[in-house]
Amino acid sequence: MPKAQTPVVKRTLFSWVFAVNIKLQILLVAIIMLTVFARVVPLEMQKRIVNEAISLRRMDLLLRYCGVYLVAVVLASGLKFMINALQTYVAQQATAQMRKALYHHILTLPLSFFRNTQPGTVVNALVSELSLPGNFVGMAVAVPVSNILTLLAFAGYLFWLNPLLAAVSLSIYPIVVFLVPMLQKRVNAANKKRVSQARLLSNKIAESVSGIHEIQSNGAFGIENKKYDRLVDRLLKTRITWSLYRFAIKSSNNFFVSLGPFIIFILGGYLSIRGHLALGSLVAFLSAQEKLYDPWKELIEFYQVYQDGSVNYARTMSLFDVPPEHVLEPEGRAPYRFKGRIEVKNLSFLTPSGIRLLRDVSFALDPGSQLAVVGFSGSGKTTLGQCIGQLYKYTAGSLRIDGYEVSELTKRDIVQNVGFVSQRPFIFSGTIEENLLYARAALISGSADKGKEALPDRDDRIEALQQTGLFLDVLRFGLNTVLTRGKHDDLVGQLIQVRHNLQRDFGAQLAEYVEFYEEDKYLYHSNITENLIFGTPDSEDFLEANLPRNAYFLDFLKQADLTRPLLGLGAGLARQLVDILGNLPPDEVFFRQSPIAATEIEDYKHLVARLEKLRLHQLSDEDHARLLQLALRFIPGKHKMVSLPSLLEDLILEGRALFKEKVSQERPECVTFYQSSEYIFSQTILNNIFFGKMKSTQPHAQEKINQSIIQVLIEEDVLETIIEIGMQFDVGSKGDRLSGGQRQKLAVARTFLKTPPILIMDEATSALDNKSQSRIQNLLETRWKGRRTVISIMHRLDTIKNYDQIIVLKAGKIGEIGTYDELMAQKGMLYELIGKKR
């Protein structure tokens, strides 16, 4: 169990310095000490070389001192590298730790926090804002310690050489210490001004661009120019001030530092002439003075990183300084296991801005009973569900589960006992299976006896899919999978059998929905590559992506008179698609019906721009390859932005025959031509069992064929295998490759697999078709009744009859409570609601 510690948002920036790795920091200090020593040695050697070796003309001394000098310099450089490496390591570790700790904290923040916070703010805080504080942590020990020690060592050495000269030449530094922060303040102020003025300028530009119609129609160029110029001038002034202060820091720093040698020359020269200072000491003095500059500069930079880093750190942490509403883990006990009795007394919920979403709500539910909550939108239904699920903390009254007050329970207690399906469930990127097991896996990973609890087995998973009606969707995903050669050898044989059975039993019936592969017919639902090759590539250079650059294939196209017409088709497609899609966001929805992928649109935009200026034959080979690629992907039955000229269609059919003849003779190892006895590895399972492609993706067409497909899959005993493959379907980011209905079904299924004693469904089936809704409702009424407490928040009223209790909420208050029959007999609010619905 994690011990109580200071929340990350309360930690100071300095607390990270030794939190990362104290041993490393100590090692760092030790290395620094060595480095400082290694830095001073060359100075002493300089002095000795001049005073002893050169003046006394001693070659042996010269070599010895130079040797020591060299060793010290090599050592200092090596150690400096080590310091930098350690410093970077510490900085990166600190940033990573801050990112982790803050992320862990953010996930536990109350939902109300996320209502008022943009996701971008959180992303920015975690990704960019913490780098600078992290850098500071990396520098926090190494930089000040090494530089101050170096400064002190040099200063000490100088005093040892000549106290008077040292005192005078070092006297400039206090002036700099006073001056730099003063100037820095001005730089900061000017910088702030610069940022806000730049923002004003951006707004102005954006305004002009979006209001360009108005500007041009009114000829208001003068007015707009004046407004814009004024802003630019203001920014200009601020930028100049900002830059001047920055240079002032640099210059004054440089100036004072270069004053050093001047003082040394004048005073040191005087002392030397008078015989109070040896020439070697003067040289050493000059070198030391020069070398003071680097540590000094680093200290100034460190000061700036400290300033910026601590500002960033404080701002970021204060943003998330919101305490979690509930304790996460129970201390000193296992999480409770509830039976599911719920008692609500005078429950109220007041938003921070003082709006009362729930008012004095009271009711009680026995374990295993079922409650429907109905009412208009905004009546507080969802809030009530969220209070019971501990997603919001109620502000007054009492809400008990098995006698325990919900606000005092830990998150773990609730997670263990309550399943919550929200209106708009969130699906995470990953596979169907990962999402299906999400709730259960989370439960197990947080459980004390992890080892004993297992994830649901295949039968349970499939049962959950069937219960929620997701089974057919997953079957479809499975059928749309392209198998990898050599991975499913057994299955492939079975699928060929499925193909024969399907053709035998349902061939005629399916012909309406499926375009079967026939050698002498154009395939309108396949692309041009498939139409030409009519087979599976067996060699890398015959893969679709490589064909436009495959010399053999290009030669074939020329021979079949296809090069020019295909380039023309590619150009037409590119123009049309860039025109339609060129300015749309790269959303999957827009590119589903396009042969150009979202990631390629920019390239094609440039290509179309070149097409405006050049003729087709003037384009480069690379552009030709791109256009050809596009044409080869063209599916007339899907890509409706251009049509397939009949002449080209005939040429392609001729080309198919020529290709087969040519390849069979010259490169038989490169392609396996379609045969009804062979599995086609480049195509989906569905296309394989059809030996063709579906003409429509609409649900009504799918419904028609589902029955026959399932029947033959069961006959060959491969249905469950296909479902398992379908469960590996990648749902995309935020589940965007699933429909709204599929997302809801998946959310219900993952909660069903968790089998919690209390289930809260917040309009959890609203996006489902009637059949799926009734299926889930039936399940709740048969399998769940009497065993698990169910609270259903309902928008539709046609399925509430069999609930044990119905609550009608109105403006956050219970308007009515009772069974369906009681409330209907009462002819009150429910009666009226149902009447209105009719």
Partner 1 sequence: MSLSGKNGNNCASCEFQDNISLLRETSFFGALPLEVLKVLAYLCTRETFKAGEYLFRQGDDDGCAIYIISGAADLLYACEDRPCTIRSYGAGTLLGSLSLLGRMPRLFSLEATTEVYVLILEREKFVKGIGAFPETFPKIFQSLIRSISDWEEAFLSGHAESCETCIKKTGVSVL
**Where along the sequence are the contacts to partner 1 (CB under 8 A)?**
568-569, 571-573, 575-576, 579-581, 583-585, 587, 589-590, 593, 611, 640-645, 696-701, 739-741, 766-770, 773, 796, 798
Tokens of 638: 């899907």
Q: How far is the CB of 638 from partner 1 (least distance, A)?
A: 9
Nearer to partner 1, 409 or 800 (CB): 800
Q: How far is the CB of 799 from partner 1 (least distance, A)?
A: 10
Q: How far is the CB of 798 from partner 1 (least distance, A)?
A: 8
Strand partners, 350: 356
Strands (E), 275-428: 342-350, 356-365, 370-374, 396-401, 404-405, 418-421
Q: How far is the CB of 701 from partner 1 (least distance, A)?
A: 8
Strands (E), 292-437: 342-350, 356-365, 370-374, 396-401, 404-405, 418-421
Q: How far is the CB of 745 from partner 1 (least distance, A)?
A: 13
With residue 805 as reference, give the H or E element that holds it. strand 805-810
Nearer to partner 1, 162 or 742 (CB): 742
Q: How far is the CB of 585 from partner 1 (least distance, A)?
A: 6
Report the candidate in 253, 262, 260, 263 with the shortest Cα–Cα distance to residue 291.
260
Q: How far is the CB of 595 from partner 1 (least distance, A)?
A: 12
Q: How many whole angstroms separate alpha carbon 63 and alpha carbon 156?
A: 27
List, in order, residues 6 or more apart from 794 with CB less than 8 Å away: 372, 373, 374, 763, 800
Q: How far is the CB of 576 from partner 1 (least distance, A)?
A: 5
Q: How far is the CB of 598 from partner 1 (least distance, A)?
A: 13
Nearer to partner 1, 333 or 700 (CB): 700
Q: How far is the CB of 741 from partner 1 (least distance, A)?
A: 8
* Distances from the Cα of 86 to the Cα of 16, 43, 96, 304, 448, angstroms: 15, 27, 15, 21, 38
Tokens of 695: 């003409």
Report the candidate in 816, 595, 77, 734 with the shortest Cα–Cα distance to residue 833.
816
Nearer to partner 1, 163 or 586 (CB): 586
Buried-exposed string 491-529: b where 16+ CB fall within 10 A, e elsewhere = bbebbbebbbbbbeebeeebeebbbebeeeebbebbbbb
Q: How far is the CB of 565 from partner 1 (least distance, A)?
A: 10
Nearer to partner 1, 115 or 700 (CB): 700
Nearer to partner 1, 351 or 697 (CB): 697
Q: How far is the CB of 574 from partner 1 (least distance, A)?
A: 9
Q: How many whole angstroms separate alpha carbon 495 and alpha carbon 348?
A: 60
Q: How far is the CB of 378 from partner 1 (least distance, A)?
A: 15
Q: How many whole angstroms separate alpha carbon 521 and alpha carbon 515?
A: 10
Nearer to partner 1, 243 or 698 (CB): 698
Q: How many whole angstroms separate alpha carbon 577 and alpha carbon 96?
A: 43
Nearer to partner 1, 417 or 742 (CB): 742
Nearer to partner 1, 42 or 741 (CB): 741
List, in order, residues 6 or more apart from 744 with CB less than 8 Å away: 421, 425, 764, 765, 766, 767, 768
Nearer to partner 1, 402 or 763 (CB): 763
| Phi, psi of 639, deg, nearest 5 | -95, 95
Alpha helices per DSSP H over 108-171 = 111-115, 119-124, 131-161, 163-170
Nearer to partner 1, 340 or 425 (CB): 425
Tokens of 776: 């889930």
Nearer to partner 1, 58 or 610 (CB): 610
Nearer to partner 1, 366 or 736 (CB): 736
Residue length of the chain? 838
Q: How many whole angstroms separate alpha carbon 312 and alpha carbon 640?
A: 52
Nearer to partner 1, 70 or 580 (CB): 580
Q: How many whole angstroms separate alpha carbon 329 and alpha carbon 547?
A: 59
Nearer to partner 1, 484 or 583 (CB): 583
Q: How many whole angstroms separate alpha carbon 283 and alpha carbon 291?
A: 12
Q: How many whole angstroms separate alpha carbon 38 and alpha carbon 424?
A: 65
With residue 555 as reference, give the H or E element that holds it. helix 551-559
Q: How far is the CB of 731 from partner 1 (least distance, A)?
A: 15
Compute the radius of gyration of the chain from its Cα atoms: 38
Report the candidate in 550, 599, 609 with the shortest Cα–Cα distance to residue 574.
609
DSSP assignments along 591-609, one per residue = HTT-SS-GGGHHHHHHHHH
Q: How far is the CB of 682 from partner 1 (least distance, A)?
A: 25
